[in-house]
Structure 1
Amino acid sequence: MLRHKLIHPEINAILARAGHHSTILIADGNYPALNKRGPNADLISLNLMPGVVTCNQVLEAILSAVPVEAVQTMQTETEGPYALDGDPPVWDDYRQTIKNADLDIELQPTEKWEFYNAVETADHVLTVQTADQQRYANILLTIGVRMD
C-alpha cells in the first residue's frame, strides 16, 4: 500500500523510472499536450470534464511522491487577448501547495516559447493533462535528489 497521496498506478510507475533532472509537465486544459512534449514523455490524460481535475490537485499528489528541485510556470502575456495584469490566481495556489509540502522553491516564470522548448527536451518523462480551465496553469517540475 502506498503511503503518499499519489495512487495513480501508471503515473507512479513513470515516476519510479524517472531520476534527477527528469521533468514532469502538469498541463492545463488548453495546453497542446499531444504535440508539445519530449521524445521520451508519456502522456496521461486526467481531463474528465471541464475543471476536473486541476493542475494544483495533480501538483499536490506529485509533490507527495517525488523530490522536486525546480518549478517553472508559463509566463503570462502582457498584450493581446490572453494578457493578464499580474500573476494568475493559480500561481498563489501553487505557492501554497509548495509551502504545504515543506519545500522552499520559488516559481520560475518562463516565456511561452521557451517554456515549450523546455518541455520538448529528452529529460521530459511525463505530461499529466488536466482539465484545468485557468489561464497560465501549466507547470513544469524538475525532479531533485532523494536525500533520505
Structure 2
Amino acid sequence: MLKGIDPVISPELLKILSEMGHGDEILLADGNYPAQGAVKNMSLVTRADGVGIPKLLNAIMKLFPLDTFLDYNVVLMLPEKGVPQIWEEYEKILNDSGEIVKIKKVPRFAFYDLASKSYAVVASGERALYANIILRKGVI
C-alpha cells in the first residue's frame, strides 16, 4: 500500500502510468469495448472490473499530466445520435484536475483506429454506452 494512491489504481496500472512517456496514450474502455483486441501488445491490457470510468479517471488525473503540445489530449467516441450523459462527469473531472484540457470527439471507427495505437488499455466495468476515453500523456 502507498499513501495518496487511490485504491482503484492497481499496482499494474500504476506501473503502466509510470512507464508511459510524453505523447503515449491510454484508453479507458467501457465494459462493451473489445479491449483485448484494441492494442497490438496484449500485455498492456489491464483489468479494472467493477470499477466505473469516472472513478478511474478521477484517480488517474491526480497522477497524470495531459499533453498540451497538440490540438487534443483527450478523445471521446461520438455516438450516432445524442450526447452521452457520462461526458458531463468527464468534463467536470478533467476541468477540476488543473490540467489544460483539449477534447476531440470522433466517430466510432475513427476512435477504434486511434485506440489501436494506444500504449495501454484499461478494461473497466463501466456500463454507460460510449463511455470510452483516450488520454494523451504530457510532461511535468
Give the TM-score of the pair, scaled to structure 1: 0.82
Q: Compared with structure 1, are the counterparts of its residues 41 and 92 closer, same or farther at alpha carbon in structure 2 (3 Å cutoff)?
A: farther
SS at match of 1:34: helix
Asked whether the 8 Å contact 2:35–2:121 carries over to 1, the reply is: yes
Q: Name the counterpart of 2:70.
A: none
More off after superposition, 91-100 vs 38-47 = 38-47
Can you give the 5+ residue segments of structure 1 that lack an aligned partner in the other structure?
Answer: 79-84
Shift of the 20–2 alpha-carbon distance from structure 1 to 2, 3 Å rule, reads farther
Question: Aligned residues: percent identity?
Answer: 28
- Which residue is 2:45 aligned to? 43
Look up the match of 1:90. 86
**C-alpha separation in 2, matches of 1:16 and 1:103:** 18
| Match among 103, 110, 117 for residue 113 of structure 2 | 117
1:1-148 superposed matches below 5 A: 1-5=2-6, 7-39=9-41, 42-47=44-49, 52-69=50-67, 70-78=73-81, 85=82, 87-121=83-117, 124-146=118-140
Matched residue SS, 1:74? strand
Rounded to whole Å, the distance in 2 between the matches of 1:38 and 1:97 is: 29
Q: Which has the larger radius of gyration?
A: 1
For residue 44 of structure 1, give the secondary structure of its aligned residue in structure 2. Answer: strand
In the TM superposition, what is the alpha-carbon distance from 1:92 to its structure 2 partner?
Answer: 0.3
Normalised to the residue count of structure 2, the TM-score between the two structures is 0.86
Q: What SS does the corresponding residue of 1:77 show, helix, strand or coil?
A: coil
1:73·1:139 contact (CA, 8 Å) conserved in 2?
yes
Q: Deviations over 1:113-140 (max 9, x none)?
A: 111111112xx22111111111110000
User: Aligned-pair RMSD on alpha carbons?
Assistant: 1.7
Question: CA separation in 2, counterparts of 1:73 and 1:107?
Answer: 7
Please list every run of at least 4 consecutive aligned residues from structure 1 whose deviation after the TM superposition is greater than 3 angstroms.
Answer: 1-7, 38-41
| Structure 2 counterpart of 1:45, one-letter code | R
**TM-aligned CA deviation for residue 38 of structure 1:** 3.6
How many residue pairs align between the two structures?
A: 133
